[in-house]
Amino acid sequence: MSANSRLTIAAHALAWIGLYQRQGHEVATSEQIATSASTNPVVIRRLLGDLRRAGLVESRRGVGAGWSVTRDLESITLLDVYEAVEPGPLFAMHRAAPDPECVVGYGIQPAMQRIYDGIEETLRRELAHVTLEDVLRDVLAAPR
């Protein structure tokens, strides 16, 4: 199993677009963002599509096509981004129901669900306190 990087790449894309707009550019292309994130432009376009559905970015077609953020970075939290790109729960249960005749199989899902619910509540609370402006500030302050 590998860790999911959708939130990280989406935050990267939004911070990059926000900084690019501050430098006087109207829109950024998925190719430019992909170069910064070292990923395929298709990955960026898919994430930006999710962010557009959440109202965090908008796209322009035709001449001068590209993406722009719809709000100031200080008004977008990591929770906003997380909810846009992570549609399901943080943790999942078994794909097939465990054996209900087994004591562990019977009780594992309710026990784990209580734990997972607490973790997800804590995660959401923490993400709600961090804006993309905070992220960009930390990015720009990072030693090179």
Print burial letters for 55-76: b (CB count within 10 Å at least 16), e (below 16): ebbeeeeeeeebbbbeeebeeb
Q: What is the pLDDT of residue 3?
A: 59
Question: Is there a domain that residue 70 lies in?
Answer: yes
Query: Do 130 and 78 meet the contact criterion of CB atoms below 8 Å apart?
Result: yes
Question: Is there a domain that residue 53 lies in?
Answer: yes
Question: Is there a domain that residue 14 lies in?
Answer: yes
Question: Is there a domain that residue 45 lies in?
Answer: yes
Question: Is there a domain that residue 46 lies in?
Answer: yes
- Reduced to 3 states, what is the DSSP secondary structure of residue 18? helix
Residue numbers of the domain that contains 54: 6-87+131-140
Question: Is there a domain that residue 10 lies in?
Answer: yes
Domain of 53, CATH number, reads 1.10.10.10
What is the value of pTM for the model shown? Answer: 0.89
Tell me which of 23 and 88 has the higher pLDDT.
23
Question: Is there a domain that residue 44 lies in?
Answer: yes
Instruction: Please give the tally of structural domains in the chain.
Output: 1
Question: Is there a domain that residue 13 lies in?
Answer: yes
Q: What is the pLDDT of residues 31-62, one digit of tens each?
A: 999 999 999 999 999 999 999 999 999 999 98
